Amino acid sequence: MTHRKPHILLIYTGGTIGMVQDYESGHLKAFDFDKVVENIPELYQLDSVIHSISFLKPIDSSNMGLGHWKLLAEQIGKHYNEYDGFVILHGSDTMSYTASALSFMLENLAKPVILTGSQLPIGDLRTDAKENLITSIQMAALREQDRPVVQEVCLYFENTLYRGNRTTKMSAEQFRAFDSPNYPVLGTSGVHLKIHQEYLWRPKGQKSLQVHTALDNRVGLLKIFPGIHPDWVQTLLEAPGLKGLVLESYGAGNAPTASWFTDLLRETVNKGVHVVNVTQCPGGSVLMGKYKASAALAEMQLIDGKDITTEAALCKLMYLLGSGVSPRSFKTIFETSLRGEML
């Protein structure tokens, strides 16, 4: 029986990983990903067929937005039956947001979608780009009993495979730029690739991939801090068209008990704005009502963000608002893990 090599599609969006040094000018320039295999000869050693496409105009990930997420989701949907896995090359600054968004947009995903990037350009002498790219392809190509080992949206960086919607960027200068504080890593790369099967997300049933591109970004983020000014909070909460809000509270979900704050928040909830309570802490979970400082929030029936990241909470809000979920069931659905993004 002829062995069929896994087919992997690289999608280049931009970012540091796609830059090389122009030694004549001394400047960084975009890497030609149409010739990715020719320019990175190590890829010839992989037991995979690798094709690549890229954004017409690669972007810095600081400019990533809903239109780009829609394009990525549509490209994966368009090529889903042609390839066994997808690797998205992306700037690290907003990679956790994109990974979170795609996890919700790609319902019933049963193949690997792995985002990766680098802290140094691919042409730099000390670059982390080649290892991240090569190992991401290897991870995406892993198969067991003719099925992909990984069947979810992941993020690979510095020898570690994470669930994408559980990650947050932790460092602007260390090669280990990301962490997953509330969920174990999915795999590691050392002398051997090791996948922790018990932590992988498994789609229920054999349903066809559904690509959702209707996102609603009429959402806001309120990070409370000591001395926060009432006028600023009021301006945000009374913003025209606001439909969803992520409240970054202290510790286990605590917030100021001053009447001006609780009154404004209660008015916002009563207007039908969906408010999600998440913790500012990198790790841990919201436990509304455990302390007196969160009793009022529990009484208001704020959405319990549990241990979700801020990045995933914002993307989940956009996804559910865009999906037209009814106000009556919105809280229940948000508090339910849809793609392994929360407890």
**List 2, 13, 16, 135, catalytic entry:** 16
Partners of residue 160 on adjacent β-strands: 157, 188
Separation of alpha carbons 231 and 250, rounded Å: 20
Output phi, psi for 123, to 5 deg.
Answer: -90, 0
Separation of alpha carbons 225 and 316, rounded Å: 24
Contacts of 128 (CB under 8 A, 6+ apart): 118, 119, 120, 158, 175
CB atoms within 10 A of CB 299: 12
Using CA atoms, how far residue 313 sits from 39, 103, 114, 162, in Å, is: 39, 12, 20, 17
Active site residue 235: no
Partners of residue 122 on adjacent β-strands: none
State whether residue 20 is helix, strand or coil: strand
Taking alpha carbons only, the member of 180, 164, 151 closest to residue 100 is 164
Kindly tell me the number of DSSP H helices and DSSP E strands found in the chain.
9, 20
For the annotated catalytic residues, the residue numbers are: 16
